[in-house]
């Protein structure tokens, strides 16, 4: 990064010093607090990436730097630059403003409502205007003036516009002219490097013909960005496109539960394969967005000062609603957040495998079912014998306008998730396992309520009611994760999957004892004590994440032990039997996640009997466990802060 960006830049939204994040599609830099709002808007509004802790293609970073340094922010704040706006009281946020509602309202108006952009004169035929703008874009990309092209895109120019007279797209023009940064900008706005012009040539062809070989290689990377990102998420490797390798498909490390290839697993695989290419692409894009959400959450966890930000509404518990998508697709996208690390990995492997099959031209008969119905089919395999039937298969889509979550939540059933092993090697499949239990459903509902309600008092009141209702539905807590010590013991002793599906409880150090002789207590520890323990947990988690980033796998076990000690000390601050159901739920998530973390970290030990362990996949599970611990600690700080202030 340039010295200028390291020293004197300010947040585009509130002018805070030293912004650490970038919004790629907006061409701006933003601070932590403003980034928390950007994340809640969704990638269709703002694509955020950390400047230091996230891998960057060099030319993509250069594109953002160029836009920011050339005043791209004025595109989004055009009318605020008018002196008349000061007279009318309209102003941008400042660093001292509260995140909610001040900064959040300004950022939503700026990017979601586009309240301050330059408006074109109204015309009867909007399609003519869009066509004119797209033609201007087509002409402008042959130059290096990025901000002009961003302005045209902000006004409605289409990145994939096919010029009827020229017979090509803007990306063809940029590639032929060797305009790498223009190609990056067009790709961010959806330009397809595989599109053919009237002569049957792609932008990659033109880049190679013009001797722009680095640009040609980058365009190939962009063409495979979706599958590359999914593969890198699982195993930390990318295909070697230069040598004709376009797919890397990891294999699941743990095959102990993959011996039984059930008919239900085969049926779910067949249903996914039978999706039309269009619907399969939709599902793959949704999974890509979920990977981005999870990776950004991991970076967020590693970089935040949790003692100061812990009470802010910065959680993004599932993919935000995209109004351009149907309600069923938005519901399906939200369900992806309920897959734990292991289950989500198997879904990603499934998609990678089928993407490779489709790219190689081996189509199956198309299905008219949409992606949401396919997810429903996949996720409902092996429904638990104890499943409640008085709730619907899918939650209502959460949004800022939806304040009646009680009515919708009363109808929803607990989600079951995909857990199959589809790989590039010998075909095996995991049984579809029961994933979500009353505790996890409660945690998700809590996060939804935190997103919808700004008033913390209302949040806690509704969350406690929700937690109480869900606790009654399942008096015995089940495991947050599938691959637990308890579940393996059930299988190894012959109890089978049915026993594990009924109930898996954490034994020993991973559970909270339910002593019926202890009277419920409403007393809570001081906020200062809880924050101090949270800081200790966070410090240890950051140490673990640094070890993961540096591939120091031998540090996993000692880090997990220190985290477990810190979690135990924090749990000891609370009564043995808290009266608040919400406190009990958060403590269970905290302690069970810490125990699960230790279990995952032990998989890094050299084991002669398991030479196929995929350390990168284990690392992803370790990161997810660490994130769950941090979320639970954050909930406990929020609760004690509110209760002690009353």
Specify burial of residue 330 (Cβ count, 10 A radius: 0-12, 13-18, 19+): buried
Weakest-pLDDT range from 82-96, 355-369, 433-447, 625-639? 433-447
Pair 356, 215 in one domain: no
- The pLDDT assigned to 452 comes to 42
pLDDT at 5 over 90: no
Q: Are residues 257 and 351 in the same domain?
A: yes
- Position 545 scores a pLDDT of 83
| Tokens found for residue 514 | 């339910």
Is residue 194 assigned to a domain? yes
Judge whether 407 lies within some domain: no
Confidence at 86, pLDDT banded by 50, 70, 90: low
> Do residues 573 and 598 touch, judged by C-beta distance below 8 A?
no
Q: Is the pLDDT of residue 538 over 60?
A: yes
Helices (H), 189-244: 203-209, 213-223, 225-235
Domain membership flag for residue 492:
no
The string of pLDDT tens digits covering residues 171-193 is 999 999 999 999 999 999 999 99
Contact partners, residue 188, CB within 8 Å, separation at least 6? 24, 25, 47, 60, 63
265 and 174, same structural domain? Answer: no
Indicate whether 107 and 245 sit together in one domain.
no
Instruction: Answer whether 533's CB lies under 8 Å from 574's CB.
Output: no
| CATH at 59 | 1.10.220.150
Question: What pLDDT is attached to residue 314?
Answer: 61
CATH number at residue 603: 1.20.120.330
Do 247 and 196 sit in the same domain of this protein? no
CA distances from 536 to 188, 203, 529, 576, 633 (A): 39, 52, 11, 21, 11
- Residue 125's contacts (CB-CB under 8 Å, 6 or more residues apart) are none
Domain assignment present for 536: yes
User: pLDDT, tens digit, for every residue of 39-63?
Assistant: 999 999 999 999 999 999 999 999 9
Q: Which residue has the tokens 């104890």?
A: 386
pLDDT above 90: percentage of residues in the chain: 41
The verdict on residue 501 lying in a domain is no
Q: Are residues 248 and 371 in the same domain?
A: yes
Residue at 152 is within a domain: yes
Q: Count of residues for the chain? A: 646
- For the residues of 4-22, what is the DSSP string, one character each? HHHHS-B-TTT--BS--EE
**Between 635 and 229, the higher pLDDT residue:** 229
Percent of the chain with pLDDT over 70: 67
* For residues 236-255, average pLDDT: 85
Distance between CA atoms of residues 594 and 616, nearest Å: 20
Per-residue pLDDT at 66 exceeds 90: yes
Q: What is the pLDDT of residue 407?
A: 29
CA distance 418 to 339: 8
- β-pairing, 21-23 with 28-30? antiparallel
| 95: pLDDT strictly greater than 90 | yes
Where a domain ends, among 398, 433, 468? Answer: 433
Of the two residues 415 and 186, the one the predictor is more confident about is 186
Structure confidence at residue 432 (pLDDT):
28
Work out the number of other CB atoms within 10 angstroms of the CB of residue 230: 24
**Residue 293 within a domain:** yes
| Token duo for residue 520 | 């419920």
Confidence check: pLDDT of 303 > 60: yes
pLDDT at 87: 54
Same-domain check for residues 298 and 364: yes
Of 393, 357, 402, the C-alpha closest to 375 is: 393
DSSP state of 602: G
205 and 252 co-located in one domain: no
**pLDDT of 124:** 59
pLDDT at 166 over 90: yes
Please provide the average confidence, as pLDDT, over all residues in the chain: 75
Q: Does any domain span residue 580? A: yes
Convert the pLDDT of each residue in 460-487 to its tens digit: 455 555 545 544 443 333 333 233 233 3
Banded pLDDT at 4 (limits 50, 70, 90): very low
Show the tokens assigned to 251: 């294999």
Higher pLDDT, 143 or 544: 143
Residue 254's nearest CA partner among 336, 380, 341, 382 is 341
User: Between 581 and 207, whose confidence is greater?
Assistant: 207
The edge-to-edge listing of strands for the beta sheet with 48-50 is 28-30, 21-23, 48-50
pLDDT of residue 531: 87
Sign of the alpha-carbon torsion through 151, 321, 343, 513: positive
Question: DSSP string of 587-610?
Answer: HHHHHHHHHHHHHHHGGGS--TT-
Do residues 374 and 251 share a domain?
Answer: yes
Check whether residue 152 and residue 20 sit in a common domain.
Answer: no
Q: Which of 175, 200, 223 corresponds to the end of one domain? A: 223
217 and 282 part of one domain: no
As a whole number of angstroms, the distance between CA 156 and CA 139 comes to 15
Same domain, 248 and 144: no
| Residue range(s) defining the domain that contains residue 343 | 238-381+416-433
Q: How many domains does the chain have?
A: 4
Residue 85 pLDDT: 64
Q: What is the mean pLDDT of residues 554-564?
A: 90
More confident call, 261 vs 33: 33
- Is 36 in a helix, a strand, or coil? helix
Q: Where are the alpha helices (DSSP H) in 261-388?
A: 263-273, 277-303, 306-309, 327-335, 341-359, 371-379
């Amino acid at each position: 990064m340039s010295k200028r960006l390291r020293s004197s830049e300010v947040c585009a939204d509130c002018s805070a010093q030293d912004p650490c994040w970038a919004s790629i599609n907006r061409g701006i830099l933003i601070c932590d607090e403003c980034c928390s709002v950007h994340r809640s808007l969704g990638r269709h509004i703002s694509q955020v990436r950390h400047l230091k802790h996230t891998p960057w293609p060099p030319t993509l970073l250069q594109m953002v730097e160029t836009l920011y340094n050339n005043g791209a922010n004025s595109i989004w704040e055009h009318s605020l630059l008018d002196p008349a706006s000061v007279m009318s009281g309209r102003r941008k946020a400042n660093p001292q403003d509260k995140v909610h509602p001040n900064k959040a309202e300004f950022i939503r108006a700026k990017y979601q409502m586009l309240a301050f952009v330059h408006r074109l004169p109204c015309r009867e035929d909007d399609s003519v205007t869009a066509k004119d703008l797209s033609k201007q874009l087509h002409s402008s990309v042959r130059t290096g003036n990025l901000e002009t092209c961003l302005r045209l895109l902000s006004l409605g120019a289409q990145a994939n516009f096919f010029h009827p007279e020229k017979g090509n797209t803007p990306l063809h023009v940029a590639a032929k002219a060797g305009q790498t940064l223009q190609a990056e900008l067009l790709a961010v706005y959806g330009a397809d490097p595989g599109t053919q012009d009237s002569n049957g040539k792609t932008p990659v062809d033109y880049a190679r013909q013009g001797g722009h070989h680095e640009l040609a290689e980058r365009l190939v990377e962009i063409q495979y960005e979706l599958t590359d990102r999914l593969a890198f998420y699982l195993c930390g490797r990318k295909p070697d496109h230069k040598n004709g390798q376009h797919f890397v498909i990891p294999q699941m490390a743990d095959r102990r539960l993959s011996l039984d290839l059930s008919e239900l697993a085969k049926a779910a695989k067949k249903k996914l394969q039978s999706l039309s290419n269009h619907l399969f692409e939709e599902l793959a894009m949704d999974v890509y967005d979920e990977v981005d959400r999870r990776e950004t959450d991991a970076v967020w966890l590693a970089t935040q000062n949790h003692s100061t930000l812990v009470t802010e509404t910065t959680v993004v518990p599932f993919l935000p609603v995209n109004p351009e998508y149907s309600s069923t697709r938005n519901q399906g996208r939200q369900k992806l957040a309920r897959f734990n690390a292991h289950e989500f990995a198997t879904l990603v492997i499934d998609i990678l495998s089928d993407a490779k099959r489709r790219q190689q031209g081996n189509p199956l008969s198309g299905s008219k079912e949409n992606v949401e119905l396919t997810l429903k089919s996949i996720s409902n395999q092996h429904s638990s014998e104890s499943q409640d039937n008085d709730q619907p298969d899918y939650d209502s889509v959460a949004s800022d306008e939806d304040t009646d979550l009680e009515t919708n939540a009363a109808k929803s059933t607990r989600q079951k998730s995909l857990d199959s092993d589809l790989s590039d090697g010998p075909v095996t499949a995991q049984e579809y396992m029961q994933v979500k239990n009353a505790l996890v459903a409660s945690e998700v509902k809590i996060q939804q309520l935190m997103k919808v309600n700004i008033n913390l008092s209302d949040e806690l009141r509704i969350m406690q009611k929700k937690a109480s209702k869900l606790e009654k539905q399942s008096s015995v807590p089940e495991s947050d994760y599938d691959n637990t010590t308890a579940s393996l013991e059930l299988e190894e002793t012959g109890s089978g999957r049915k026993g594990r599906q009924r109930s898996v409880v954490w034994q020993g150090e991973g559970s909270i004892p339910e002593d019926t002789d202890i009277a419920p207590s409403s007393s809570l520890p001081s906020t200062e004590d809880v924050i101090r323990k949270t800081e200790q947990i966070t410090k240890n988690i950051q140490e673990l994440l640094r070890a993961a980033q540096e591939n120091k796998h031998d540090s996993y076990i000692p880090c997990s032990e220190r985290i477990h000690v810190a979690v135990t000390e924090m749990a000891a601050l609370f009564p043995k039997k808290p009266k608040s159901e919400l406190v009990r739920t958060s403590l269970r998530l905290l302690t069970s996640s810490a125990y699960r973390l230790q279990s995952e970290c032990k998989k890094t030990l050299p084991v002669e009997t398991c030479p196929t362990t995929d350390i990168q996949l284990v690392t992803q599970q370790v990161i997810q466990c660490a994130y769950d611990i941090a979320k639970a600690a954050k909930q406990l700080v929020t609760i004690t802060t509110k209760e002690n202030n009353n």
